[in-house]
């Protein structure tokens, strides 16, 4: 059997992951997770960052849509004061720490990335696939879930949320 071409693999992965979708769900507290940093510099606990808006991205190194979105997420991370907004990646199903560290370095990603563990995806609630992102307010409450590559919609939502503390109603 011949290996898939890059474009065929990308198309298959995009189809498998579905279209980019903001998913409106009932607001609920973010999970009280404390995970090891990929860079080996200790743990990162979500609860320790109340008072800061967080965007948590659940992703995998083999996920083509996840990789396509990394530069955009890095740009978001670089665009705001880290006291106001933190971009956090949680890497799942992607091998050992050293190979993930090397992968992240090659991608030019500098925002914190954490090693996902068994049960990490489920701790956030229903999981549709990779990439899935969660916008968490300053009180530690999940205010929006995004599935797939979201791009400008995510930037617009984040800018509005940081400015006003609210998101536009669905459909606007």
**The domain that contains 139 carries what CATH number?**
3.40.30.10
* Residue owning tokens 């049960």: 119
Whole-number Å distance between alpha carbons of 135 and 87: 10
Q: Does the structure show a pLDDT above 50 at 139?
A: yes
Residue 113 belongs to what domain range? 19-164
**Kind and range of the H or E run holding 142:** strand 141-147
DSSP state of 50: T
* Residue owning tokens 């290996």: 3
Above pLDDT 70, what percent of the chain? 83
Q: pTM of the entire structure?
A: 0.84
Q: Would residue 11 count as lying in a domain?
A: no
Question: For the chain, what is the domain count?
Answer: 1
Q: Where are the beta strands (DSSP E) in the chain?
A: 21-23, 28-29, 34-36, 43-45, 53-59, 85-91, 113-115, 132-136, 141-147
- Confidence band (pLDDT; 50, 70, 90) for 25? low
């Amino acid at each position: 059997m011949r290996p898939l071409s890059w474009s065929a693999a990308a198309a298959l992965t995009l189809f498998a992951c579905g279209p980019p979708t903001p998913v409106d769900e009932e607001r609920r507290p973010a999970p009280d997770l404390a995970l090891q940093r990929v860079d080996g510099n200790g743990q990162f606990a979500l609860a320790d960052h109340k008072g800061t808006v967080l965007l948590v991205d659940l992703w995998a190194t083999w996920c083509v849509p996840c990789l396509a979105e990394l530069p955009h997420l890095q740009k978001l991370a670089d665009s705001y004061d880290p006291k106001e907004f933190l971009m956090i990646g949680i890497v799942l199903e992607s091998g050992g720490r050293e190979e993930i560290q090397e992968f992240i370095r090659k991608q030019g990603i500098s925002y914190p990335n954490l090693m996902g563990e068994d049960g990490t995806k489920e701790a956030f609630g229903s999981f549709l696939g990779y990439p899935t992102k969660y916008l968490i307010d300053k009180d530690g409450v999940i205010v929006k879930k995004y599935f797939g590559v979201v791009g400008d919609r995510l930037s617009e939502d984040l800018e509005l949320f940081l400015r006003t503390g609210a998101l536009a109603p669905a459909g606007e």
